Structure 1
Amino acid sequence: METPTVHQTSPTALPFSLSVPDRREDLRTQLVSSVGALIGTEASLQTSIPGVTLYRYCAPTLPESATYEPSVALVVQGRKRVTLGRTSFDYDPSRFLLTSLDLPVTSQVVEASREVPYLCMRLKLDIAMVRELLGREPDKAGLARSGKPAMTTAETTAEFLDAFGRLLDLHHAPQDIDYMGGLIKREIIYRILQGAAGQRLRSIATIGENSQRTAKAVEWIRDNYTKPLRVDMLAKVACMGVSTLHHHFRALTSMSPLQYQKQLRLQEARRRMLVDGLDAAHAAFEVGYESASQFNREYSRFFGQSPMRDVRSLRVVGDDE
């Protein structure tokens, strides 16, 4: 059996009787028990710890569109696949998912059962906290390179599992959440920055980097997706040339600014029809479409069927569950 390499671990960090793989499995088992006990039979649970959400599925799911915010997703049981553009990321107990920007994706649980449900912890990232930690480390400008998607997976270490376990334990000690929660979240961000995935987060958070400027453009579209989009205006928001913005925007999000806006609009229209009961025409105008026929065409192309048929099928699935 190949002996794993341990990074940044002091000689006294592990009990002599417990190997790294054993410690990692022990910590994962503890998290399975803790997450399962808290979430019960619910599909999702917003915990009392700010930014921490739990998820549970008892069967694989069909691909569905969603927008992932800057976050870390730690699967403790099962497996999930997220597709950004043409790139798919699989994550399971051995690898966590890091998302550095708001990204429209397609996601599906690919491994889950009633006996062994999919269980996941998601921690929303505070970019201001990331910048605070970056300000304390030596100059690593050479590491803050752009040109790669703002989403990646990385190895789930024992230290990472331990930090998430201590963070979740705060649910049972509400008096400690305000102080200890911030400390443990900083530890998690620190471990990301020190690992292979740190470059993605560093480039988004480093002021003046092309990725950080592009992130401003992403944020503007997210906050103003119902408004007409002029790329020259967006380039001014990012303090970049139009062609430079296009290049970096596609590199980070795997789509153009207009494609990004379209996906946000279509996903929000779908939500408003499903949750708020709007018809297709009203949902289209609410999210910024001026033509109902254009909305119907783009919705059918993106989701695979007409708006009302899609919503009806989603409601049937919801009723079955």
Structure 2
Amino acid sequence: MADKVASLTDIISRHVPEDGLHPSALPGVQLARASAPTLPMPVVYQPTLCMIAQGRKRVVLGGKDILYDPASFLVASVDLPIMGSVVTATADEPYLSLQIALDPEVLSDLVLKFPSLDDADAPVEEGLQLHTTSPALFDATHRLVALLDTPDDIEALAPLIMREILYRLMTDKSSGPTIRQMARDGSRLNQISRAILWIRTQFHEACPIDDAAEIAGMSRSSFHAHFKAITSMTPIEFRTRLRLQEAQRLMVGKALDAASAGFRVGYESPSQFSRDYARIFGMPPARHASQLRDKIVARNDMAMTG
């Protein structure tokens, strides 16, 4: 497997010569590179498989802190607001990774063709999970990414290999129960996923919990319990996280002042926005955004002169 890790590293490095997250010629696949450790930055993971070829990354969801490397893979089964940072990377040995979108139609078809009844009543799984990478999964992933070197083969072979990757995830003893729950219309995971999608479109508004529970098809108490089990947050905490991450993006990327950013994401009270922001990020929003902008500029300057 070491040879294939080295080969995957080489392929990604050649096809992603610059730092950042980049779309690839492979449908549903993005490639990432970082030549130095990065600042923790907010992002919303959609249902995704994340694998690393070189380096290490930390992701934080609520109070859950996950550190992973090429020996493991990360699965997000629902949309989740996380903080992500590359922790191991150098110019000579950059962080290199890939993200593969989990196609719900293919998953549903696989579950129908290869049913498994032993986990039909399995407990609700966490929405962000770390698993050990099996040789079979890594081999399929390597063959998928290797198609970048033979682009004429992508249209014919990529869907087949992608299907194999999803099959490997579905039949894996650790990741399988969650993947199968994703494909079942009536599963608790799918019910919560529907509510999450609604909250993502409505987080600027009040988002009444009763409305979200109704969309999920659950009682208020059941919805609250299952939501927290999957996301590590209450529905209100989830909405707050979405608001604060979007506000940070507006302040850092769009140079909005703190009051304007807070109002834009749904806060009526600037003081409440500042309190919530400081509780999550450790300092007031304006000062934190200024520090992040300064660090980003300094890092970009180092990259240009290095």
Using the size of structure 1 for normalisation, the TM-score is 0.87
Query: May I ask how many residue pairs the two structures share in their alignment?
Result: 298
- The corresponding residue for 1:291 is 269
* Whole-angstrom distance in 2 between the partners of 1:174 and 1:53: 16
Q: Would you say the 8 A contact 1:59–1:117 is kept in 2?
A: yes
**2:202 pairs with 1:229:** no
Report the residue type matching 1:91 in the other structure.
Y
Q: Secondary structure at the match of 2:27?
A: coil
Q: Would you say the 8 A contact 2:8–2:146 is kept in 1?
A: no
- The corresponding residue for 1:54 is 31
* Whole-angstrom distance in 1 between the partners of 2:271 and 2:244: 13
Q: CA deviation at 1:143?
A: 4.8
- The corresponding residue for 1:4 is none
Q: CA deviation at 1:252?
A: 0.1
**2:41 pairs with 1:64:** yes
1:88 to 41, 61, 65: 65
* Whole-angstrom distance in 1 between the partners of 2:220 and 2:107: 28
- The corresponding residue for 1:109 is 86
Q: Would you say the 8 A contact 1:144–1:206 is kept in 2?
A: no
Unpaired segments ≥5 residues, structure 2: 300-306
Report the residue type matching 1:288 in the other structure.
G
* Whole-angstrom distance in 2 between the partners of 1:79 and 1:59: 11
1:135 to 112, 123, 130: 112
- The corresponding residue for 1:13 is none
Q: Secondary structure at the match of 2:93?
A: coil
Q: CA deviation at 1:175?
A: 4.0
- The corresponding residue for 2:165 is 188
Q: CA deviation at 1:45?
A: 1.8
1:258 to 210, 222, 236: 236
Q: Would you say the 8 A contact 1:265–1:288 is kept in 2?
A: yes
2:129 to 148, 152, 155: 152
Instruction: Give the RMSD, CA atoms, in angstroms.
Output: 1.8
* Whole-angstrom distance in 2 between the partners of 1:55 and 1:61: 12
Q: CA deviation at 1:141?
A: 5.6
- The corresponding residue for 2:221 is 243
Q: Secondary structure at the match of 1:135?
A: helix
* Whole-angstrom distance in 1 between the partners of 2:295 and 2:115: 52
Report the residue type matching 1:228 in the other structure.
A
Q: Which has the larger displacement, 201-210 or 33-42? A: 201-210
* Whole-angstrom distance in 2 between the partners of 1:271 and 1:179: 39
Q: Would you say the 8 A contact 2:119–2:177 is kept in 1?
A: no
**2:255 pairs with 1:277:** yes
Q: Deviations over 1:185-233 (max 9, x none)?
A: 1111110001021112222321111221111111111122112111111
Q: Secondary structure at the match of 2:190?
A: helix
- Residues 265, 143 of structure 1: alpha-carbon distance in 2 compared, 3 angstrom cutoff: same
**2:177 pairs with 1:220:** no
1:198 to 150, 155, 176: 176
**2:123 pairs with 1:162:** no
Q: Which has the larger displacement, 58-67 or 44-53? A: 58-67
- Residues 206, 30 of structure 1: alpha-carbon distance in 2 compared, 3 angstrom cutoff: same
2:11 to 34, 46, 63: 34
Q: Secondary structure at the match of 2:113?
A: coil
Q: Deviations over 1:215-259 (max 9, x none)?
A: 111111112211211111111101100000001000000000010
Task: Name segments (4+ residues, structure 1) moved above 4 Å.
Answer: none
- Residues 48, 162 of structure 1: alpha-carbon distance in 2 compared, 3 angstrom cutoff: same
